[in-house]
Amino acid sequence: MRDTFNRMIGKTRYVVLRLFLHLGGGEVAPILGVLNSAAREAIDADGDMEVLGETLVEICESLLRYDEYWLSAGNEGDVFWNEGEAGDYVNELFTDSAQRYSSGVYSSDSPNQALSIPVTRNVVIMITVAYQGEVPELETNLANVQALKAGLKALINLHYKHNFRAIQVHFSPAQLGDELTNDVLLEYFPELIPL
């Protein structure tokens, strides 16, 4: 009822969404290269939404190619009719995501450690976006394969429609050599639902 009233009086609808995707298996480590490259581009872009959108498109396209490694997913979000409130929620999700993505760190400080880097078998990507308008493919439960594919494609389309107001991507492990164990997954990502 409130949505209908707000539309009638011409208010702008903002949606803030956070998507979690867990990939697993011996072949998932290369996705970290895509994510780290996108992170470098995003930092260099200094908030340019066009560049951030392009990096998100690259990430979504890579995730769609890696669909056989998807193990679990989850999403959360809310609708706002006030841009400031939407921005506050984006900041809240950013802080929460940033606190989650730390994982066990490989350290070469110990002289007795072997000179090998553990290869992670788990990667979790957290995509937080704010957009203007209504996108049914994103405003639903994305914890099944078909809905998730449709959601990732909808994110790509949002970039080309220039409807993004915020884009943030966090991932764990954050760098090559870190390992995201099953115990850490259970502790830090309780939203994940098996696909």
Q: What would the pLDDT profile of 72-110 be if each residue is shown by its tens digit?
A: 999 999 999 999 999 999 999 999 998 885 533 322 333
Q: What are phi and psi of 70, to 5 degrees?
A: -65, 125
Q: Is 3 inside any structural domain?
A: no
Q: Is 135 inside any structural domain?
A: yes
Number of domains forming the structure of the chain? 1
- pTM here is 0.86
Q: Is 31 inside any structural domain?
A: yes
Q: Is 6 inside any structural domain?
A: no
Residue type, 7: R
2 pLDDT tier (thresholds 50, 70, 90): low
Each as own residue / partner, the long-range contacts of residues 133-140 (CB below 8 Å, 24 or more positions apart, any chain) are 133/13, 133/15, 133/163, 134/13, 134/15, 135/15, 138/15, 138/17, 138/75, 138/77, 139/15, 139/17, 139/77, 139/79
Distance CA 98, CA 95 (A): 5
Q: Is 8 inside any structural domain?
A: no
Residue 194 predicted with pLDDT over 50: yes
User: Whole domain around residue 136: which residue ranges?
Assistant: 17-100+122-194
Q: Is 92 inside any structural domain?
A: yes
Q: What is the pLDDT of residue 47?
A: 82
Q: Is 21 inside any structural domain?
A: yes
